[in-house]
């Protein structure tokens, strides 16, 4: 990418350096150590410590056996440390390498997310962030998912990430991203920009598992642009404590019959603050979306947002948000929003927040389950989101990640 | 078993919130027997069943419930289920995310897994419902069959069946009858049966498919008549429940 192009983004970023985000608590970036992106130094996954690999596994990233993955990328703090490909037609590299390799990347750079959106996007740009570049060439279809891990390892620091995902025409790409940290109690901040470009007839499933600890701040910024007949299926799971997390990805359907599905499963333990939502702009004839979220608080605070904007004929969108409050503290604030600007759009939502229905617990107890077993079965069912279009293997892995974390709930 | 009766209900008085619904109900069921309760809407039939099962909302203020000779009057719901009492509810709740298969699996006391579950589901014509959320979008008949499917897996010594035929079309009522006969081991001669049943029936249709030994009429929270179920049903058909209410007054 030419210097002229990058400079114009830096200039824009500088104007937003102190711009607070529209929603979510403001994080004082000066409390953390900022550093510039470091050059990729690739190692074999065998050379990654057992402890780190164990932690990465908790976020769904398997490094001991790569045979079930089409490719793998690992970034520790701001340095990419592993990148490998096992399937033709798929490209994986650090974004810094992709920028150097492909002049055309300027056509994608900061196109799905605005560089001056807030101080977090600005920080990512101004620190020449690395991250992953994943691309499926036209017609290429991943047999196994591509996995990526973003690992926060340096206490008190900011991890800046800028990911670009491109699914060329007719391709199919499945991605698992695990974001986690080596810390137990220490502070850290993860800033992650992800831009998805899903071309005509392409399909992307993106499953992101966050496994943080109580002093970590997290501000992901995600945008997706979906062309004609394209499909973007995004699954997000967070079931571990986090100090403050705010994300509100936006997907724009710009091609006829483009489809987006967002599934979110979140569990907020005490002292965790999560402000999580999904936005979809149905900006092309026949575009479709479904946003489903399941929220449980065991004492933490959750804001569960959803927004669908229908502005073209024959678009259809549904938003479903359900929340369970377990115990005596914690809040769930559901904010579902629909905006139609045309007659004939079909938008709907349903939202429910409450405790576990006693009637359901008793029904299971009448079959011989103890109260605890009945409660566990209901919660397990509550968190079971039926995901249409997710390959069975990925679905199994996602359900396993949920089941593993579930045990800590009871 | 310490008693010749599987279930003995004596002087049972039940309150919901602060309102007394049952006023001293008595009934006794021996192993292998099937009894039927008739009664108009609001007479206390469901309250009796829910009280025997042990749902906490139904508070016993007087009387006792003995099961296999053991006083279970104040035993928690789940412990009663594990002792051998099962219920088919009239309007069971929908539990999103909990599949019919999960429910049947929870009811199975022994290991055996999917093969037994599929076999039972086939019997209840519910194979296609195993991986659906329990009771979600089920028709009246499907709910009844699903309840019976769970009971077949649970195999309780006494089954409390609350209006198993209500909302079921004529085509399916025979299947419901067959499932109940299966559950209550009707294939065996009575002395060899262990499983008993207490059935609530508003219309009596179920008696065309399931034989019962004793019938009761319940009015205003009391059992006002006991006898041959077919005789009782014929009287009700001819004279209505009004006859039973006036009988109570005499």
Q: What was the ipTM of the complex prediction?
A: 0.95
Domains for chain B: give ranges and CATH numbers.
Answer: 7-92+156-249 (3.40.50.300)
* A366–B95 C-beta distance less than 8 A: no
Q: Mean of the pLDDT values across residues A325-330?
A: 88
Q: What is the pLDDT of residues A280-315, one digit of tens each?
A: 999 999 999 999 999 999 999 999 999 999 999 999
The C-alpha of B146 sits at a distance from chain A's nearest C-alpha, in angstroms, of 13
Measured in whole angstroms, the distance separating CA A299 from the mean position of its chain's CA atoms is: 23
Residue finishing a domain among A337, A357, A377: A357
The verdict on B91 touching A (C-beta cutoff 8 Å) is no
What pLDDT does residue B247 have? 66
Q: What is the pLDDT of residues A213-247, one digit of tens each?
A: 999 999 999 999 999 999 999 999 998 999 999 99
Spell out the residues 6+ positions from residue A292 whose beta carbon is closer than 8 angstroms to its own: A261, A262, A263, A264, A320, A321, A385
A156 and A63 inside one domain = yes
Residue indicated by tokens 């001819």 = B238
Facing residue for B77 by CB, picked from A360, A365, A373: A365
Angle at A289 between CA A222 and CA B96, to 5 degrees: 105
Measured in whole angstroms, the distance separating CA A79 from the mean position of its chain's CA atoms is: 20
Domain that holds residue A376: 358-410
* A382–B97 C-beta distance less than 8 A: yes
The verdict on B137 touching A (C-beta cutoff 8 Å) is no
Q: What percent of chain B has pLDDT over 90?
A: 76
Facing residue for A366 by CB, picked from B81, B96, B133: B81
Tokens encoding B102: 């999960």
The verdict on B96 touching A (C-beta cutoff 8 Å) is yes
The verdict on B53 touching A (C-beta cutoff 8 Å) is yes
Residue indicated by tokens 């479904």 = A290
How many of the other CB atoms lie within 10 Å of CB of B119? 12
Residue finishing a domain among A341, A357, A373: A357
Chain B residues touching residue A399 (CB < 8 angstroms):
none
**Residue A399 in this model has a pLDDT that exceeds 80:** no
Facing residue for B81 by CB, picked from A357, A365, A382: A365
Confidence of residue A398 (pLDDT cuts 50, 70, 90): confident
A258 and A389 inside one domain = no
A211 and A241 inside one domain = yes
Facing residue for B92 by CB, picked from A363, A371, A381: A363
What pLDDT does residue A402 have? 76
A54 and A30 inside one domain = yes
Maximum CA extent, chain A? 71
Counted across chains A and B, CB pairs separated by less than 8 A come out at 67
Q: Which of B124, B114, B119, B164 is nearest to B146 (CA)?
A: B124
| Helix (H) or strand (E) run with residue A134 in it | strand A132-136
The C-alpha of B116 sits at a distance from chain A's nearest C-alpha, in angstroms, of 17
Residue finishing a domain among A314, A337, A357: A357
Measured in whole angstroms, the distance separating CA A55 from the mean position of its chain's CA atoms is: 18
The C-alpha of A357 sits at a distance from chain B's nearest C-alpha, in angstroms, of 9
**Residue A70 in this model has a pLDDT that exceeds 90:** yes
A29 and A153 inside one domain = yes
Q: Which of A357, A368, A383 is the best mutation test for B, with the most CBs of B within 10 A? A: A368
What pLDDT does residue B248 have? 55
A203 and A249 inside one domain = yes
A41 and A79 inside one domain = yes
Q: What is the pLDDT of residues A146-184, one digit of tens each?
A: 999 999 999 999 999 999 999 999 999 999 999 999 988
Confidence of residue A383 (pLDDT cuts 50, 70, 90): confident
A285 and A315 inside one domain = yes
Q: Mean of the pLDDT values across residues A74-79?
A: 95
* A369–B106 C-beta distance less than 8 A: yes
The C-alpha of A402 sits at a distance from chain B's nearest C-alpha, in angstroms, of 14
Residues 356-385 of A with CB under 8 A from B: 357, 359-360, 362-371, 373-374, 377-378, 380-384
A394 and A320 inside one domain = no
Angle at B48 between CA B44 and CA B53, to 5 degrees: 150
Residue indicated by tokens 């009811």 = B107
Q: Is A395 or A40 the better-scoring residue by pLDDT?
A: A40
What is the tally of structural domains in chain A? 2
Residue B82's closest chain A neighbor by CA?
A: A368
A278 and A165 inside one domain = yes
A346 and A376 inside one domain = no
Q: What percent of chain B has pLDDT over 70?
A: 96
Q: Are B223 and B248 in contact (CB under 8 A)?
A: no
CA distance A97 to A375: 50
Q: Are B149 and B104 in contact (CB under 8 A)?
A: yes
Q: Which of B188, B112, B120 is nearest to B148 (CA)?
A: B120
A137 and A83 inside one domain = yes
């Amino acid at each position: 990418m030419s210097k002229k192009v990058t400079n114009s983004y830096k200039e824009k970023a500088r104007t937003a350096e102190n711009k607070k985000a529209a929603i979510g608590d403001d994080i004082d970036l000066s409390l953390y150590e900022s550093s510039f992106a470091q050059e990729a130094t690739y190692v074999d996954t065998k050379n990654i410590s057992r402890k780190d690999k164990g932690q990465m596994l908790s976020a769904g990233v398997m490094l001991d056996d790569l045979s079930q993955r089409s490719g793998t990328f690992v970034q520790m703090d701001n340095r990419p440390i592993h990148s490998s490909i096992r399937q033709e037609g798929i490209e994986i590299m650090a974004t810094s390498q992709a920028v150097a390799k492909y002049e055309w990347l300027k056509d994608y750079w900061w196109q799905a997310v605005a560089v001056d959106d807030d101080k977090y996007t600005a920080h990512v740009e101004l620190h020449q962030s690395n991250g992953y570049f994943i691309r499926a060439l036209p017609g290429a279809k991943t047999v196994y998912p591509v996995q990526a891990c973003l690992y926060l390892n340096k206490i008190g620091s900011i991890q800046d990430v800028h990911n670009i995902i491109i699914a060329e025409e007719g391709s199919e790409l499945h991605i698992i991203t695990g974001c986690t940290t080596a810390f137990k109690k220490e502070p850290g901040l993860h800033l992650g920009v992800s831009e998805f470009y899903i071309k005509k007839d392409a399909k992307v499933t993106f499953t992101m598992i966050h496994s943080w600890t109580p002093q970590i701040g997290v501000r992901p910024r995600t945008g997706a642009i979906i062309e004609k007949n394209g499909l973007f299926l995004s699954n997000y799971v967070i079931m571990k404590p986090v100090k403050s997390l705010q994300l509100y990805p936006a997907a724009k359907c710009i091609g006829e019959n483009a489809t987006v599905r967002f599934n979110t499963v979140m569990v907020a333990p005490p002292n965790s603050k999560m402000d999580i939502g999904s936005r979809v702009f149905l900006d092309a004839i026949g575009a479709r979306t479904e946003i489903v979220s399941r929220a449980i608080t065991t004492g933490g605070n959750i804001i569960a947002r959803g927004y669908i904007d229908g502005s073209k004929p024959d678009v259809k969108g549904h938003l479903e948000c359900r929340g369970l409050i377990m115990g005596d503290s914690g809040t769930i604030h559901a904010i579902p929003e629909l905006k139609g600007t045309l007659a004939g759009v079909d938008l709907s939502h349903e939202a429910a927040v409450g405790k576990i229905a006693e009637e359901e617990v008793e029904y299971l107890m009448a079959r011989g389950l103890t109260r605890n077993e009945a409660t566990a079965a209901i919660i397990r069912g509550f968190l079971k989101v039926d995901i249409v279009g997710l390959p069975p293997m990925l679905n199994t892995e996602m359900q396993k990640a949920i089941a593993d974390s579930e045990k800590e709930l009871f | 078993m310490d008693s010749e009766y599987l279930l003995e209900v004596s002087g049972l008085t039940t309150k919901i919130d602060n309102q007394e619904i049952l006023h001293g109900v008595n009934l006794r069921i021996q192993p292998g027997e099937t009894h039927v309760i008739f009664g108009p809407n609001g007479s206390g039939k469901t309250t009796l069943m829910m009280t025997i099962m042990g749902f906490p909302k139904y508070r016993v203020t007087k009387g006792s419930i003995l099961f296999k000779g053991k006083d279970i009057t104040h035993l928690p719901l789940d412990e009663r289920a594990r002792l051998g009492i099962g219920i088919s509810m009239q309007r069971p709740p929908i539990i999103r995310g909990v599949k019919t298969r999960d429910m049947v699996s929870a009811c199975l006391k022994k290991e055996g897994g999917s093969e037994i579950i599929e076999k039972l589901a086939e019997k209840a014509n519910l194979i296609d419902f195993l991986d659906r959320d329990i009771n979600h979008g089920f028709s009246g008949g499907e709910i009844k069959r699903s309840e019976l499917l769970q009971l077949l897996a649970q195999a309780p010594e006494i089954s409390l069946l609350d209006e198993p035929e209500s909302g079921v079309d004529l085509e399916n009522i025979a299947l419901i009858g067959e499932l109940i006969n299966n559950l209550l081991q009707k294939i065996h001669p009575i002395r060899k049966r262990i499983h008993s049943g207490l059935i609530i029936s508003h219309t009596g249709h179920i008696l065309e498919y399931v034989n019962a030994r004793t019938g009761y009429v319940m009015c205003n929270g009391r059992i006002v008549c006991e006898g041959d179920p077919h005789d009782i049903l014929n009287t009700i058909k001819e004279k209505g429940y009004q006859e039973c209410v006036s009988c109570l007054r005499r």
